[in-house]
Structure 1
Amino acid sequence: MSVLKLKLDQEQLVEDFFEDTWLAGIMSPARDYQLCWQINQQLGYDFRVNNSLEIKLNKQQRAYYFTVLEYEEPTKSAAHYFYNNHCKAEFLLPELKHVDYIWLIKGNYYQAADVKNLIEECRKVELVQLVSLLDMKDIKNKINLIF
């Protein structure tokens, strides 16, 4: 009896997931819930923890859990995901060790000018030290962001 093995095409999965997305890196000494509370208050968002999106990475026989907060804009058909980039001494995206949080915007509503405005508004949040747009080409571990 032969066994049929299916192989997941990770490159296609990554390409599909990141279609119509923008990524921003945020540096902040605050906890994720504190920072998102301020973002919610100042920018009018409603980020909330979504435990079903939590990302588990196994490294060196240990499990690390990375919180993901979510906010969906039904009128704009856009979803926002706010990832914690570190858990204890491990990083979700090791190539971005200087970044504390990753903000992923998914949906075709947002254009470059909209994202630029959003980043400018985010810089005004008291707990934010730095915000910058991230280039997808510079991220080697994109698969870690897929839930």
Structure 2
Amino acid sequence: MAMIKQKLDMSQMNHEYFDETRILGIMAPVKNYYFIWMLNSFLDFNFSLYTDAPVEMHKKNRIYRFNLYTSTHTESSLVHYLYQNQCDGEALLPELKHLDFIWLMKGDRIADNRCHHMMENIKKLGNVQLVTEITVDQIKNISNLII
């Protein structure tokens, strides 16, 4: 009997997972806890460390663990995921290694003006050097953001 091999189409799964999401890249060379404190204190988020599923990368016979923080809105299904992009010299998204944090907004559509307003508010925080929107097409290792 002949064996049939099937290949899982990850691009379709990635497309569906990231449908109607917004992704921001942030350069803020500060400790994770300090950046989270600034977001929670000054921009009224409720970020906390997500411990249900660790974000890990296996490379060079080593495991790199990247912190993930979440914040939810009670009035909508929008969830904010804030990924630490750096861990001991390795980047979760190597193609964006200059960024310190990756912010994924998922679960509810975010209008352009709302996203732009949020980016402007983040830029006003101390120690934030850059906030830029990133498209899914710009991220080669997009599956690293799937939890």
Task: Give yes or no for TM over 0.5.
Answer: yes
Can you give the 5+ residue segments of structure 2 that lack an aligned partner in the other structure?
none
Partner of 2:129 in structure 1?
A: 129
What letter matches 1:109 in structure 2? R
CA RMSD across the alignment: 1.8
Q: CA separation in 2, counterparts of 1:4 and 1:73? A: 46
The answer (yes or no) to whether the contact 1:76–1:109 under 8 Å persists in 2 is no
Q: CA separation in 2, counterparts of 1:57 and 1:98? A: 18
Can you give the 5+ residue segments of structure 1 that lack an aligned partner in the other structure?
none
* Deviation, structure 1 residue 134: 1.1
1:102 paired with 2:136, answer no
Q: Normalising by structure 2, what TM-score? A: 0.92
Partner of 1:52 in structure 2?
A: 52
Percent sequence identity is 36
Q: CA separation in 1, counterparts of 2:110 and 2:15? A: 18
Aligned pair in 2 of structure 1 residues 5, 75: CA closer, same or farther (>3 Å)?
A: farther
* Deviation, structure 1 residue 26: 0.5
**1:12-31 counterparts in 2 under 5 A?**
12-31=12-31
Q: Normalising by structure 1, what TM-score? A: 0.92
3-state secondary structure, aligned to 1:125? coil
* Deviation, structure 1 residue 52: 1.6
The answer (yes or no) to whether the contact 1:82–1:102 under 8 Å persists in 2 is yes
The answer (yes or no) to whether the contact 1:93–1:141 under 8 Å persists in 2 is yes
The answer (yes or no) to whether the contact 1:77–1:109 under 8 Å persists in 2 is no
Render the CA deviation track for 1:91-143: whole Å, top value 9, x for unaligned.
10000011010011112331111100100011111131211111221110000
Aligned pair in 2 of structure 1 residues 2, 68: CA closer, same or farther (>3 Å)?
A: farther
